[in-house]
Amino acid sequence: MFREHASLIQLLTKQHIGSELSDLQVTKLCNFGDLLLDWNQRLNLTRITEPHEVILKHFIDSMVLGRFINGLTFADLGTGAGFPGIPLKILRPDLDIVLMDSLKKRLDFLDVVIQALDLKGIKTIHARVEDFGRDVHYRRHFDTVSSRAVARLPVLLEYALPVLKVNGLLLAPKGSQYEIEVTESKRALLLLGGSIEGIEHFNLGEGAEHRAILRIRKVKETPPEYPRQAGTPAKDPLS
């Protein structure tokens, strides 16, 4: 199905990201789209199923982050159906990516995608995000972390900053209400060692919401008591 939209993938990637995809990259995105819609019938991975919308709101929306990535180690927290991690891996094969999610069935789908697309340097991790942040293998490990629509910013900061290296970067895609979340996050930034370095605005055109990517730099070590135990950050945000 997605193969007939290959030229659209090329066009939108060039238009919004400034990158020329190879035929192999386009093929991998098409195959990913086909797998997504096939598995979606059983797992309810996404409510977006029209191919043009999948390309714009999932593929392009994920790959936009590529221009801001810091370093080569990247964690996608609460990856869901593989966004932004899978499109970023296709765009940037040099990245070493971890896809983390708490639902094993979603990761089973992503393991099939990784094998079918022959992606190297990418793996899935089944964990609660708070446990991931306390795991010695991943704490202070990543150059860049991102997460789409997992939590409001004060909560996301507690999830993400512990697994970043000092001077690492959190890329937090938000909608038009981002300013409210920034205001809510002053205490969390102070406690967790983060600083908002910049805000990048973009719009993917008609039918796609305004996007603001918050670039948050980890400027000092996160205290060892964070993240708190599973469920606590969401119930009692640091705001």
Q: Binding site: what residues are annotated?
A: 78, 83, 129-130, 148
Nearest to 188 by CA among 137, 238, 135, 140: 238
Residue environment code for 58-91, b if the CB has 16+ CB neighbours within 10 A, otherwise e:
bbbbbbbbbeebbeebbbbbbbbbbbbbbbbbbb
Query: What is the 3-state secondary structure of 136-174?
Result: CCCCCCEEEEECCCCCCHHHHHHHHHHHEEEEEEEEEEE
Binding residues for S-adenosyl-L-methionine: 78, 83, 129-130, 148
Burial level of 230, CB count in 10 A (0-12/13-18/19+)? middle
**Angstrom distance (rounded) from CA 10 to CA 37:** 20
**Angstrom distance (rounded) from CA 103 to CA 125:** 10
> 71 to each of 96, 141, 195, how far by Cα in Å?
10, 11, 18
